Structure 1
Amino acid sequence: MFTVSRADLGPGFTFGAATAAYQIEGGQTDGRGPSIWDSFAATGSNVKNHDDGSVACDHYNRWPEDLDLVRDGGFDAYRFSFAWPRLIPEGTGAVNKAGLDFYDRLIDGMLERGIKPFATLYHWDLPSALQDKGGWMNRDIAGWFADYAALIARRYGDRLHAVATINEPWCVAFLSHYLGVHAPGYRDLRAAARAMHHVLLAHGTGVDALRVEGAKNLGIVLNLEKAEAASDSPEDVAAADMGDALFNRWYLGGVLKGEYPKLLTDELAPYLPKTYERDMPVISRSLDWVGINYYTRGIYAAAPDQPFGITKVSGDLEKSDLGWEIYPKGLEDLLVRVSTDYTDLPLYVTETGMSEDDDSKRVAYYDGHLKAVANAKARGANVDGFFAWSLLDNYEWAEGYTSRFGIVHVDYDTQVRTPKGSYRAFQGMLHNTK
């Protein structure tokens, strides 16, 4: 069980569990269009065991059982994502009624169970038809995304407690267009620079469209890491500064201050859109909250022969089965940093969790990170909520089904759900109101 109590996080603090559409839904025979993850998973060895999300956790059919798990666990909220290709199969144009009806059922099911719907518009499953037009490399995506956002707001806006535009723009842009680890799998600096800008521009146009249609409580979800230098040498300190600019400051600065770090704009100048500065007022539209996803730290060393002159090195802390260091203090420091240096908006830890078969380690992970949130609040960070990643074991992107983050075990052959000790730890804490 946890050593942290609900009371330690203060009155009104929101506890939730999180998922993403492609990772759990399946249900790809209802008129849903193909996404970039369908083609990425079907290509070569991009994904372990050639796994794909065609069935995943069959949430499309089993959503009532999954929402019962959220309710019975004592969670206040459920963070889910809409699948753009399920709603608009070609990305623009004709709408899929079966997809619209599915999310009506899902959202109404949350409300019937007293669960607050925290929606994300984009969690990486871009319609393939839009990738054919350049996807995030094409400036037109800002308009495509705004139209999609407007549809969501008109259909569901009055029932959603909170709406995030984009989940983890660093992953959408850099991980997927420069490192090539996720769909669409590019390794191209120009592609990455364009995507880094356009994903934030689409966020801004999405916010505008949502507001025009009357949607409330709008935010974005940024994945951040604690960037640290491998040593005290000036070269390694400079490397950590570059790593922080790439992973953190580009997105924090763009969204919350309307500015990119000069360190990076100088580096990327040949590849960025020529008039990108004109878009900064749209990118930095006012928000109601900011989500932070956190998993680990990055330790940087100077590497003059490597791109951006940096390399990441491994630390000596305990690691998950993905090799990610377990570092709760990093979450505490990031929450304080964002509240101190960037915004006084409410912050939500919209994801944190651990890939691990030994669930006792997951219980300890969550306990440590809940304590980190309490510590951050004591230091003045304006943190209003915490979402566990993930409610279910699921399709973990390039790891396929080999990586389990869930607080509920899923047998992928039978689709039987079995709550783990980590689920019971949340349940015990959240049902204890003392």
Structure 2
Amino acid sequence: MSTVLFCPVMFNLAETTRMIQVARALDPAHSPVFMGYEHDYVDLVRDAGFSYRACEPAWTRAERDQALAFDQGRSFRSPFTTELVRERVRVERALVRETGARAVVTGSNLTSFLSATAEGVPLYYPVPFALTAPQVRQTPRMGFVAGSSGLARTADRAATSAFRWVYTSAPLAPRAFATVARENGVPAPRSVAELIRADHNLLTEMDWELDGFDLPDDFERVGPIFAHLDTPVPPVVEELAAAPEPLVYLGLGSSASRSLVLRTARALGDLPVNVVAPVRHYLRDDDVLPPNVHVTDLLPAHRLGGLVGAAVLHGGQGTVQTACATGVPFVGMGLQPEQTWHVRRCEERGNAVAVSPRRVGTQGFRTALHRALFDPAVRTAAAEVSEAYVDEDGAAAAARVIERDLG
């Protein structure tokens, strides 16, 4: 039996559930152990039957937001002080030795990239293709500048070129990582792209999303991995699905904001639809939403196919892949480059309509939702994408890669 240590960022829902799916797919001969510094979704880990080690030092709320912006390419400022990186690497190295882990699986827990290397344990990184080094190097337009005019395309290419240099070449990896890397006898990362590159980078994508790209030897496609929460569909969802009004799913993951939740809910409140919205974690007790918007805790979204007519999503890969797998057309509002990438790939397949989050509440937003609900071409494309997902199991493929090396 081999121990596999999982190191997700535990306040990131998509990342935590992605790790859980991979752990579930491992052969029972192996023993998954989870660790984390923030513990928002620890109940999901424990409910799945896995051991969890609570570690320190943790971040404040402001530091979490800063870390998320850094990970998503929205900022090159980070909350990683030398003291924090040094202590987390010490904690992780000790945990690898204590558990006898023979593999480490990480998300955006950046200190794992140092600690696993220092312990001589292979590091596996199930990751979306967007914002990886090969994607940034080979993409002519990242979508920083919206629009299809010649001027917009030219401006976007220029912005992409600048971002490419900053992300893949500029010496912008936080200095703390170079300092602690040298202290632990491992190569110091120079660029942001070097900082988040593992021994095995497992791309959680459909094959068509990688068309036209050349992958380095340390990158391979495993396929979609998204949450399968082991909870029943609440009765309110089935009741709303039986009503004459279309039912819309509002999913904004864990990287949106309270202001966007309120604006989107109020925009949907003006439309002849019912809405089920697992966004309670964003709201304050005194927030008032329209009566047709029904707020819930987290839902087993993978069971909502056939119940909801369309979705409005922030563009995170987990929510996008769940919609794709269940055949639900969606309106995608990418909030940062990685999410914009996911939405654009689906819009190209025809099962999604992209809008800017700035257009929430406008006629453009209403038109996009109407297309997702009623346009036969969009609905046909959603069904075709769902059919393509039937034979995909990214978690199982990732587990097989890990087990291949465990022997």
Is TM more than 0.5 here? no
TM range (shorter): 0.3 to 0.5
Normalising by structure 1, we get a TM-score of 0.33
Normalising by structure 2, we get a TM-score of 0.35
